[in-house]
Structure formats: C-alpha cells, structure tokens
Structure 1
Amino acid sequence: MGLFSFFVVQMTEKQKRYLILGSLALAVALIYSSYHFYLFLWYSQRGEQYWSVLPMTPGYASTIWARLRELADGYLRIADVSLFEYRNGLTTLHPLLNPFLYYPLYLIGGLRGVMPLADAFFAAITFALLYKIAHLLTGRFFLAAPFASIFVMVRDLPFMLLPRSMNAVKDLVKVFLPVSFPGDSRNRLNFLTMESVKPGFVIFGPFLIFVFLLLKSERRKYAVLAGVFYGLLFYTYTYYWIYGTIVLGIIFLSSLLRRKYRTARYSTISLAIGGGISLYYWMTYFAAQRLPWIETYLNRTGWIESGGHQFRTSQWFFYIVVVVLLVILYRYCKARARMFIFDFLAVLLIAGVVGLNIQVFTGTNVQPVHWYLRIIFIPLALSFLMCAQCVFERVEKKGLGRPLTVIVWILALSVLGGSASDAYAFAKIRFHTFEQPTGVMPSVLWMNEHLPRDAVVLTPIPYSSELFLYYTPAKIFLPKAAGTMAGEDEMIERLFILYSLYGIPASTLDAELRNDTLAQTFIQRQFPATHMALFDYLYFQQFYSQALDASINIVPGADAPPGLKVDQIVSSYGAYPFDISDLGKKYKVDYLYLGPLEKEISTADFDEMPDLEKVYDVDGVRLYKIQKTEAVPPRT
C-alpha cells in the first residue's frame, strides 16, 4: 500500500485521472461480467458449467449465441439472406463484424467464455465513450466520470429524473442506494442488456463524438470520421442508422438556413461516405425484398405501426421536456459563447422527436418504443448533464463546489455498489430459474459431440429447439417466427407433422396455443423457463396491435393469442392427414428427440415404430435416428 501511495504521489494530475478512469472502467467491466462468474461458480458445483453463458436478458440471447455457434461450427454467413435451414433469419450484421468483435473473444475464452468477456469488454468501452462525450461537453473530469459511471449502470436515468408518481420517486431513490431490492433490480445493469448482444453504442458513441467535433471545429477530418461511423451504423441496429441519417440531414438543412455553408458541405461529405459504406447493407436489403414471405417475416418480427401519417400527440410530456431543455441550453450556451454545444444537443433532441414521429413521413413506424429505449435516452441524458453543469457552476461560485463534487462521487460509487449487488441477485434468479429436468442437458451435450452439423432434430417443444440451437450444431425442424423466412403455411405444416408424429391430441395443441405465459416466464417468474408459449414461438408479434402508440403504451392483450386463429389451427390439425411413411419426403429429418418435456404431451411409443434406431438412452432421455428418409436439398 505504501509503494502504491508513493507512485500515486509521483503521478501528474493527468496520470491520476487516467488511473481513476481505468479503475472505474475495470469496476464497470467486472460488475457486468460478475453475473456470469457467479453462474459459472454455482453451476460448476453441480457439474453444469454450460449454463454460465445465460445472458441477463433472455430475449436477446439468440442473436449473439447463433453467431457464436456459426463461428464454432465453421459456417459464417456470407450475406444477410444466407439461411442455414432454420438456424436464423434476416440480419443486418455485416459478416466482418463477427470476427472483429466476437472472434477474438472466442479465441480467448472459447464458446462459453464469450458472454462474460463480451459483457466486460463492451461495458468498459461504453463507459469510456460516455465519459469522452461528457467530458467534451462539460470539460470537467469530476463531473464527466461520475456521470459515465452512473449512466452506464442506469440506462433509464433520464426518464427516472422526471418522476410522475410516488412509485417513480421511490424507484429513483432506489437506484442510488448501494443495496439490491428484489423485484426492482432491473432498473440497474440495463445499459448493456441489449448492447452486449448488438453492440451498437460501440459505433454510435464515436459517431456522436465526431459529429460534436465537426460542429465545434468545422474540420474535414471530423466529417470523414463521422461519415465512416455513420456508415457502420447500418450494420448495428435499424434505429441507429435512421437516427444518424436524421441527425446529418438536420445539420445540413439548418446549416444552409444559417448560411454556414462549410458545415453544410461537410455534412454532405459525411452522408456520402456513410452511403458508400452502407452499400452492402442495401444490396442485402433489396435481395431480401425478393425473398418469398418477406412481408410475413416483417409483420411477425417488426410490430409495425400503420396508423397513417399522424403526429404522435400522446407524447406531449416529452415534447415539453425537449422545449424546456432547448431554452435552458440556449441561454446557458449563449451566455458562455459555446453555441456549438447547443447546436449539437439541439440536433440530437430534435432528431429524437423526428424519429419518434417518422410515420408522419413514411406512414409507418417500427416499434417506436425503441426510439426511447435505444436512442432518445442518450440526448436526454447529455442535456440533463449540461443542466447539472449549470447548477454546479452556480454552486461553485458560492464556494460549495467541493462538497457537491464529493456528494456526486458518493452517489456514483453507491450506484456501482448497488449494481454489483444486483449482478448477484440476477445470477441467483437465473440459477434457480434455469434448472432442467434430469437428463436433458447431458443429452444435449452428447448431441453436441456426436451429431453432424447438418442434422435436423425433431421435437415439439419450443424450449428444446432453443437448447439445440444454442448448444449443438444441429438444426431444428420447427422454425421460430423471429428467426425464419418460412411462410405461415409451411410453419403450421411442420407443427402438424411434429404433433401427429408424437401423438399429441388436438386438445393439448389448443391448450399450448392459448398458453400466454411468456411474460410471466421471464419477468414475474411464475412459470419455469421451460414453459414457453407456442403461439408466440410461431407468430411472435404478427397479431400485435398496429394502432398508433400501441408499442409505446403496450396495449393490454396485445400479446394474447387471438381465439379465432387458435380455433382455425386446431380445426385444421384435426383434419390433417399424416402417415409416418411420408416422413422426410418433403422436409429433411434426421433425429427424433424424446425427453421429459416431450413425454409430458406425447402419447406415441417410438420403440414400436419402424425405421427408428435408438442411438441414445440415458436418464429417461432418448434420441432416435430416422433410418429411411428421402434426401431433401437444403434451403438456398
């Protein structure tokens, strides 16, 4: 300790700040990855290390895990529209991003090491980017560093700072306490719940930085760099590139109106460079448009609002907040001759309003709630930071700057401590939730070692299909709505084949289709993780309300299976002609899986069926190889 103190004393002020930043980045990385380390420790004690990869947000597991399986299995996708049977569906992830972002982590930690390493890596990078943006705006280390520390842990902080109920006030207080609250811990450790899967902020952050520097200095190199990262936004997430386009478009138009022709010219350069980099995206986009069932795919995965060219008046509170912030920022920046800061934040805030109301121009808007969750929270947070800067300057003039700095740092450290506690709480929840019936995971691991990568495995259980995708090189027979280009007729036919083969009665199919337990499974924990909703698996968001604000307000019953549709499916199943001799004539099949979950609904005796060879029978789990099937060419 004495030696460390000696080195600290010898450091320059700049070196001390780098030491603090490095320590905070390391703490942030460890907090996010500690969730996985807890799982690895506890599951290792039960001999089940494979569960250590479970992400904090289940819904975003398949995106990254499917990419990692491709790396492990040796077939990277070469274009967005390359389909490997029913492993995945459409993606806008550029093939080069896989080896650049994930393959190094895969080499270091192996397939199961990527999740914790990715969380640690992206957490540290996100913290560094947030700090850089905050420091560019404020110029104050002891304001930017605590801001980045808090914001990287509490994504929804800008919304929580405007509480509209007593419960919201309580939630705001809780995020700053260094303890975990059962049931409320999701307000922390949520910045990376999406980013670690689709690391958009790793690219979006630099884009914002270079746009700021462009507005500040009007130099060509920043226009070029902003254009490069704008182009890369096309390969992250839809909202990012749309927002980037709106931002650069507003800069161009506003610069023309104010006769700042250099800035207008440079914004055009950024748009041109980004457009060039995005060519691959547009090639695959138009290729995808020619695929069959593309409209069905978009309908069931997009939750597209089609309320016409209406302005979203329901979000009046947000608009008022934007106007108030613009007035405060204008007066503050005008008084200090730093109007480039106002220009930057004004563009970001106005672009957020435009994105939220993009349907005014296009007639549709895709899941507009994501404009809040992915985009708007960032300019709001930066604007609130500048308001905090204004308050800090006033307090500093009264000689109270140091006490306020101490308070801010205490709050930041308290948030970090509470987030560390939340990581432990998250891990505990997952550890108790994801407990498989005896024999399931050993059989899956056996499949991982022995099945060829082009093998198609049959199971009527959606959760079993998920396991096969995550933990084996096998393909699945029953496609998932969010990950296949198959049309509804084909999906339903495959479902009927499975249910007929397993001898599942129509009454069971009816019950499974009406089972609306997805939200309770992952949020309220009222059902085990193995209890997945079949209707959601088949249709996802296809029958969600498409009215204006349905996504933002989460219309009650929006995710409930429509009764008439269920009746139609069950009726068709009752009349479906199935003969086991036809198995494999239309769709490729290789193996039949029978585990505890399958046995709960199956009435078939596969030991008595011809052309089935039992290749695995351990702890009540059986795997049969289907001997006689006609060759079915893979999808192209």
Structure 2
Amino acid sequence: MMVDGKKITYFILLIISALLVGILYVAPQFFIGRALKAQDRPHLVAPYNLHSDEMINYLPRGREVYDGHFFVSDLFSDRKLFSPTTALPPLIMSLPIFVAGGNINFAYQIAQFSFSALIFLAFYFLGKVVLRSRPWSFFLAFAATLTPLARDLPRGFFSLDSFLNKIVKNFVPIVQTQFDHLALYRMDDPLITFLIFIPTLIALFVFWQNPKKSTAVLFGALVGLLVYTYLHYWMYLALVLFLLTVYAFFNRRKDSARFYYLAISCAVFLLFALPYILNILNISNLNFVADWRDRNNAEEIGRQIYLSSTIPHYIFYAILALAVYWVFWKQKKQDTAVLWWSFIGVMPLLLNMQIMVGFNVAPDHWFFAFSPLALLLILSIAIELVKKIDKKWIVAALLILISLVVAKKIVNAFTFINPMPEVLEAHTIDRPIIDSWDWINQDLPDEPRIGSTSFLTSAHLAVYTSARPYLPTFFNTYLTNEEGEERVLQMQKLFGASPEFLGILFRAKGRSEMTCEEIRILYKNPLLKCSPLTLHNLTDYFYPFYYYYFREKDYSTINSVYPHLEMPEERVRGLLNRYEDMPSLNWRDLPLDYVYSGPLEKELAGSELENNPELKMVYEKGGVEIYEIIRQ
C-alpha cells in the first residue's frame, strides 16, 4: 500500500502549526513569569484586574468540579439547585486543573496551550469541509486563532479605524502595544465555547452537503450540547436549524430526505435541550432566583427597537446577503446560498428579539456566534472570485499573509522578554497571600468555611483553594441581594468598621473614574499602596456581588454597556441604616470555621482580631492572619 507523502507532509505541518499556536498563546506569560521569578515575586497568569470574569465566574466553577462537585451549584450557600448556568465549561476546565494537580496557574496555561491548539485544528477541518483547499484552510485556522477576525469581524468593517485596528494591523508585524493574551483567550467564551461550536458547524456543513441520518443526528446532538455550553451560540444555531427546516419543508417535494433528516436533527436537539428547559422552568418561579438573574443578565426588558448602533450591522449583513446571491445563487448553487442566507438572516432576528418576546439578553454578544461564519463566508466568496488566477499566486499570497500573522504574534511574545513594569505589577500579588492559599490547601480540612471583609479575598479563595468563602460573588450564588448584603454587614461589624468608613466605601466611584491620589485623599491615607487589587478593593467594593444589578438600561445601542459600578444613594443609606441598627454579633453565631485577615482586609477595617476570645490564631505570615473560631 502506497503512502501519500504529500498528505503526510500536510499532516506534520498541521500538527506543528497547531503546536505553534499553542506556544504563542502561552509565550507572553512564560516571559512574564520568568521576569517576576528573577525579582523573587510570585506570578499570577490570570490576575483579577485583567481577568475579572474568569476569576469571579468561570475559574471557581472549574475548581468546584476539581473539588468533586458536579453538577456545579451554589458555591456560597447550601442551596443545591441544578444551576441555570452551563454545565460543560466547568467540566472541560476541570480537566487541565486535574492535570496540573490543582495548580491553577499551571492549569490556566495548559488550557491556553491545548485549547487554542485544538481550536486551530477545528478551524482547519472546518475549512477543509467548506473551502476544500488546504492552503485556504490553513489561512482560516491561523486568522481565526491569532487575530480577532473569528471573534469580532463584523465590527472590523464599521469604520476606517476599526478596519485598521481589527484587520489590517494584525497582518503588520510591528507591535506598538504589548498583549499578554491573544484573541481567543477568554473563558468560557470563546476558548471553551469554540471547542463545541466549531465542530457543530463542521457537522452542519457536512450534513448540508450530503444529507444523511447519521450526520443529522450528530448535528442535532451537538447543538444540544451547546445548550450546556453558552446561551448565545445555541440560540443562534437553534434558530438556524429552524429556518433550514422551514426551507426544507417548503422544498420537500424536490428533496424530501433533507426535510426528514432535519426533522430528526430538531428532535435530537430537543431531546438534549429538554432537561435544561425543564430546569429553567423549575427554578424560574423561585423567589430568590430573581436577584440572581438581575445581577447576571445584561437583559433589556421591553419591546423598544435599537436604533443607530444596529444600522452598521444591517448594512454588513445586507452586503453579505447580496454577495451570496451573486456568487452562489446565480451560479446555480442554491442550497449553498440558502445555508449562508440562514446564517445571515438569523442575526437581524436575534438583534431584535425583544420585539418578539419582550426582552433581549446581552445583544452585544449575538455577533460572537456569527463572526466565525462571517470570516468563513468572506473566504468562500474570495475563493470564487479568484478562481481564474493562477493557483501558485494564490498560495504564495496566503503564505505571505500567514507569515505576517505569525510574525506579528512572535514579535509580540518577544516584547515580553523585558516586560514593562506595569505589566509585571498587574501579574503579581503579595507572596504572603499566595503562601496563605498553600497553607489552607495543605493544613486545613476540606472546604473550610472562611470569613473576610473583602470580596476579592472571596474570589481568590474560591479559585486557588477548596475553601468556602462567606462573601458571595454574583454569578455563583443564589443568595438574594439582601442575604448577600447581610453577610457584608456582618463581616464589617465583626471586623469593627465604622459607619463613616462604610459610607465612604459604599459611595466610592469606580476605579476608572479616580486617580490613586484621589483615593488616598478619600480614605485619608497618604501611604496607601495603589496596587491594582487595592483600586478594586476600595473603589469597586460591591462590583463582584452586584455586577449588572445597577446597570442602566440603554436601548439606543447594542454595543457593550459595562456594569454600572456606583450604587444609588438610597441603597447606600439603607445599608448604613441596617448596619447601625444591627445588634452585636459573635463569631460563633455565623456558619464559619475560620477568619481571614490579610492586606485587603486591613485596607477595609483596622480592627485587631488577635485579642478576641472567640478566635485562635492558627496562621500568621507577612501580614496575613488566619484565625480558627473556637466553639466551646
């Protein structure tokens, strides 16, 4: 049997390319870690100030699976409901944590390396199915993983600046700004989401090109798995499936098999989605779930129509739809055109979902599902347009573009050989804090319940230890706002914070609105260390808990609207009144085992805990103290 040497060469090249992408994803952190080690400072690859979503929302859930809790439920209370949040991402994230033996730093790097390499392979095979060309497939894979094109492509055409920044500059190997992360780094989306979404697209294209029962079942099952992965992606493809089924129904006399198989896809999808739907219906009527929903959702309630911000989207989709008509429909490729029109036509429907159902959920996220397809469609059109050009010239052009993209990321990685001081500062934390995490993991019983006054301590303990922090973060608890606030007030009372201090803390503007000097003046502390965590701790105190709760609704735009960080004055006064009316507390009154007091707690309250007869100091190092609550 003859071995095809060309295929072997391409296979080796494919594997080397995937490994190269993985290396480029972790290279900046390698150099940052090396520089910090030379300074004898600890290294955090996912610091809170740069990765707040991962630290508050997603990494704790992966840690929870590692600690033996699947399905993931409430991390901060005993309400063991089946979570409305997705189940697959924490399960997938737990795999590198298991490989790393619980070392979150190492696990995060494993995920960045392996997941980005797998996504590269997925895009390559997607290209093989759709573009039917190895060179074009390689270009698709490199462009999708090393540039923002598969993540943010529509917006790259909305203005000249966007075109230059999001598209052109990615092919110019000159680095003006250091990026310690690449385009697909975020968890859960897209680094984990794409592991499911791109294979689902492959299954859809394979089915559409040659409808079979087996591929129909596979496609329906994968869309069903997306239900447990990320909301915007499964809703996008579920609507695409619906439109394709409607088309096949009206075309069933010409192609009855396609309609039959799509009906099977729908049935399989519903079978997978049914447990999720029933769970949502079950918990949606529980009174405490309303606060969870309002804290989490960038939800627009009402039937208003987004105006100016959607017009560039509509123009982009209209141009693509016309291009599909000229390139595919007029060339007698009607089935191909219908598929692309379905991908495009879903977008205006989702952007205006509130008109039909009375609400829209994070409308700025819908194009994330369409971006990979937009890139794929543009390349498909390009292939059709350059058919008459000598293939050698096309391959040469693609190789040049790939080389430029790779060179850009190599240059970016090497800029971190000597990282800027602010980069190093952003990726480190006081060593005594890390030492305390290690001690908790090694010397305390499994899942100790630990109290502190800082939400940031809670966020870090939930990721780097198996502890159960007392202060909850918004995404991973079903505690009501009142219950979460009560825990804050209890901790502040026991740590001895004054009402005057809490008034300043609760009213402080967001970190982006205050300079370090303004914060020092506000807290009357000229020696205050303005580290990234301090800025979050003292100016965004309630952000990890309330998150979207106080966000202003804005129906004029579908663009990202960041959570409102400033509490209404009425809310602040209510909390202060509750604090002043709160009766005296004892540590033994609370469901806690230990108390944590580190640099962040000392910024928030200056109370001495060591003389409290209810507490026994069991750890002290470098300004971090841990006390055991004596229950006798």
TM bracket (short chain)? 0.7 to 0.9
| 3-state DSSP of counterpart to 1:580 | coil
Amino acid at match of 2:399: W
Residues 424 and 231 of structure 1, relative CA distance in 2, 3 Å threshold: farther
Separation of aligned partners in 2, 1:595 and 1:61: 19
Q: TM-score, normalised by structure 2?
A: 0.87
The Cα shift of 1:263 comes to: 2.0
1:321 Cα deviation (Å)?
Answer: 1.7
Residue 567 of structure 1: aligned partner: 572
Equivalent runs, 1:29-68 vs 2, <5 Å: 29-45=22-38, 51-52=44-45, 57-68=51-62
- Per-residue deviation, 1:265: 2.1
Q: CA deviation at 1:48?
A: 5.9
Give the Cα separation in 2 of the matches to 1:409 and 1:197: 26
Superposed displacement of residue 313, structure 1: 6.4
For 1:548, the equivalent position in structure 2 comes to 555
- Per-residue deviation at 1:246? 0.2
Query: Partner residue of 2:109?
Result: 116
The structure-2 alpha-carbon separation of the partners of 1:103 and 1:299, relative to structure 1 and needing over 3 Å to count, comes to closer
**Unpaired segments of 5 or more residues in structure 2?**
515-529
**Could you tell me how far apart the structure 2 residues matched to 1:508 and 1:145 are?**
58
Task: State yes or no: 1:620 paired with 2:627.
Answer: no
How many angstroms does 1:131 deviate by? 1.8
Aligned to 2:525: none
Q: Matches of 1:304 and 1:417 in 2, distance apart?
A: 41
Match for 1:229 among 219, 222, 225? 222
Worse-matched range after superposition: 136-145 or 61-70: 61-70
- Equivalences for residues 470-549 of structure 1 within 5 A: 470-517=463-510, 528-532=532-536, 533-549=540-556
Shift of 1:613: 0.8
> Alpha-carbon deviations, 1:281-332, whole Å to 9, x = none?
2343233324441111111100100131646664122112212211212221
Deviation at 1:520, TM superposition (A): 7.8
Q: Deviations over 1:1-45 (max 9, x none)?
A: xxxxxxxxx962222222222221111111113244334434444
Is contact 1:227-1:272 (8 Å) kept?
A: yes
CA distance in 2, matches of 1:426, 1:61: 23
The answer on 1:22 being equivalent to 2:12 is no
Q: Flag the 1:479–1:553 CA change in 2: closer, same or farther, 3 A.
A: closer
Task: Give me the whole-angstrom Cα distance separating, in 2, the residues matched to 1:235 and 1:170.
Answer: 34
Q: Confirm or deny: 8 A CA contact 1:451 1:473 kept in the other structure.
A: no
Task: Evaluate the alpha carbon distance shift between residue 333 and residue 529 of structure 1 in structure 2; reply closer, same or farther with a 3 A threshold.
Answer: same
Cross-structure match for 1:264: 259
Q: Distance in 1 between matches of 2:284 and 2:39?
A: 48
Contact 1:118–1:196, Cα closer than 8 Å, also in 2: no
One-letter amino acid of the counterpart of residue 354, structure 1: L
Once the two structures are overlaid, the 10-residue window that deviates more, 79-88 or 404-413, is 79-88
- Could you tell me how far apart the structure 1 residues matched to 2:7 and 2:431 are? 57
Is residue 2:421 matched to residue 1:449? Answer: no
The structural deviation recorded for 1:623 is 1.4
The Cα shift of 1:82 comes to: 8.2
Decide which of 337, 344, 354 is 1:342's aligned counterpart: 337
Q: 1:80 Cα shift?
A: 4.9
CA gap of 1:612–1:311, structure 2 versus 1, over 3 A, is closer
- Letter in structure 2 aligned against 1:505: S
Q: 2:427 aligns with which of 421, 434, 437?
A: 434
| Distance in 2, Cα, partners of 1:189 & 1:247 | 29
CA separation in 2, counterparts of 1:413 and 1:552? 33
Count of aligned pairs between the two proteins? 602
Aligned to 1:308: 303
Contact 1:79 1:284 in 2 (8 A): no
Amino acid at match of 2:357: T
Are the equivalent residues in 2 in contact too, given 1:36–1:53 (CA < 8 A)? no
Tell me the CA shift for residue 114 of structure 1.
2.2
CA distance in 1: counterparts of 2:79 and 2:409, whole angstroms? 37
How far the C-alpha of 1:361 sits from its partner, in A, is 1.7
SS state of the match for residue 187, structure 2?
A: helix
Is the contact made by 1:292 and 1:485 (CA closer than 8 Å) also made in structure 2?
A: no
Write the distance in 1 (CA, Å) between the matches of 2:513 and 2:119: 31
Q: Kindly tell me: are residues 390 and 356 of structure 1, through their superposed partners in 2, closer, same or farther at Cα, counting changes over 3 Å? A: same
SS of equivalent residue, structure 1 residue 559:
coil
Matches within 5 A, 1:237-276: 237-259=230-252, 260-276=255-271
SS at structure 1 position matched to 2:279 = helix
1:403 maps to 2:408: no
Q: Percent identity?
A: 20
Q: Which residue is 2:523 aligned to? A: none
TM superposition shift of 1:412: 1.7
Q: Which whole-Å deviations, capped at 9, do the CAs of 1:61-80 have from their partners, x for residues lacking one?
A: 3444223422443x223365
Change (3 A) 1:469 1:46: farther
Contact 1:200 1:236 in 2 (8 A): yes
Contact preservation (8 Å) 2:618, 2:627: yes
Tell me which residue corresponds to 2:361: 366
- State the secondary structure of the residue aligned to 1:529: helix
Map Cα deviations across residues 595-617 of structure 1 (whole Å, 9 max, x no partner).
22222232322233221111112
Pick which of 445-454 and 463-472 moved more.
445-454
Paired amino acid for 2:535: H
Whole-angstrom CA distance in 2 between matches of 1:262 and 1:270: 12
In the alignment, the residues of structure 2 paired with residue 65 and residue 22 of structure 1 have an alpha-carbon distance, to the nearest angstrom, of: 28
- TM-score w.r.t. the length of structure 1 is 0.86
1:464 matched to 2:457? The reply is yes
**1:211 offset after TM fit, Å?**
1.6
Q: Would the aligned equivalents of 1:129 and 1:205 in 2 still touch at CA under 8 Å?
A: yes
Quick one: structure 1 residues 536 and 169, their matched pair in 2 at CA, closer, same or farther if it must change by over 3 Å?
same
Q: Is the Cα contact below 8 Å between 1:81 and 1:287 reproduced in 2? A: no
- Deviation larger for 231-240 or 142-151: 142-151
2:324 paired residue number: 329
Q: Residues 412 and 64 (structure 1 numbering): CA distance in 2 closer, same or farther, change over 3 Å?
A: same
Residue 440 of structure 1 and its aligned partner are, at CA, apart by 2.0
SS in 2 for 1:531: helix
Name the CA distance, whole Å, in 2 between partners of 1:62 and 1:415. 32
Q: Is structure 2 residue 173 aligned with structure 1 residue 173?
A: no
1:149 offset after TM fit, Å? 0.4
Residue 148 of structure 2 contacts residue 166 of structure 2 at CA under 8 Å; is this kept in 1?
Answer: no
Shift of 1:386: 1.9
Corresponding residue number in structure 1 for 2:614: 611
Q: Report the AA paired with residue 193 of structure 2.
A: G
Question: Aligned partners of 2:623 and 2:219: how far apart in 1?
Answer: 58
1:353 is displaced (CA, Å) by 2.2
1:146–1:408 CA contact under 8 A, matched in 2: yes
Distance 2:135 2:533 in 1: 44
Task: Say whether the 8 Å CA contact 2:308–2:556 is kept in structure 1.
Answer: no
- How many Å apart are 1:155 and its aligned residue? 2.5
Q: In structure 2, which of residues 373, 390, 405 is the aligned counterpart of residue 415 of structure 1?
A: 405
Matched, 1:383 2:377: yes
Q: 1:478 to 1:576 in 2, by over 3 A?
A: farther
Equivalent positions of 1:72-83 (< 5 A) are 72-73=66-67, 75-78=68-71, 80=73
The verdict on how the C-alpha distance between 1:92 and 1:328 changes in structure 2, with shifts beyond 3 A counting, is same
SS at the partner of 2:9?
helix
Give SS of 1:613's match: strand
258, 274, 277: which one pairs with 2:272?
277
C-alpha separation between the residues in 2 aligned to 1:126 and 1:111?
A: 24
Sort the Cα spacing of 1:608 and 1:378 in 2 relative to 1 into closer, same or farther, 3 A.
same
Closer, same or farther in 2 for the Cα pair 1:421/1:461, shift >3 Å?
farther
- 492-501 or 451-460, which deviates more: 451-460
SS at match of 1:575: helix
CA RMSD of superposed structures (Å) = 3.1
1:203-247 Cα offsets, whole Å, 9 max, x none, are 211221222222222222211111110111111011122112101
Q: CA deviation at 1:563?
A: 3.4
**Closer, same or farther in 2 for the Cα pair 1:322/1:540, shift >3 Å?**
same
Change (3 A) 1:566 1:94: closer
Measure the CA separation in 2 of the matches of 1:439 and 1:94. 34
Counterpart secondary structure, 1:593 = strand
Does the 8 Å contact 1:228/1:273 carry over to 2?
yes
Structure 1 pair 67–574 and aligned structure 2 pair: CA distance change class (3 A): closer
